[in-house]
Amino acid sequence: MPDGYYDERRAIVRMAAIIEEHHDAALDAAEGKRAEADRPATFREVAHEWLSWLEVVRGARPSTLRDYRSQLAEPGTPHTRGRGVCEGRT
């Protein structure tokens, strides 16, 4: 059998390995989500979710989103233009 090709038996073995890899990855992802769900959300996580909702669901104007993102930015985040930095909220 040439390299890179499978006969029926090798294909079945490889298919089983791929399914197992996918299953293991899905279990790892579920564990990570469960661990995240065990802790309360931070203010920053909630704020970013709210900004996404505001943009997608409410259709907020770009200027409004830019203003809110600036207000919610991490302290010391540089402005897009100029040399200033965002104050941020601590």
Please indicate, yes or no, whether the overall pTM of this predicted structure exceeds 0.75: no
pLDDT, tens digit (0-9, with 9 covering 90-100), for 2-22: 777 888 888 888 889 999 999
Describe the chain by its helix, strand, coil percentages, rounded to 5: 60, 0, 35
Please check the confidence at residue 26 and state whether its pLDDT lies above 90. no
3-state SS, residue 1 = coil
pLDDT, tens digit (0-9, with 9 covering 90-100), for 46-90: 888 999 999 999 899 999 998 888 888 888 888 888 888 877 666
> Which H or E run includes 81?
none
Please check the confidence at residue 31 and state whether its pLDDT lies above 80. no
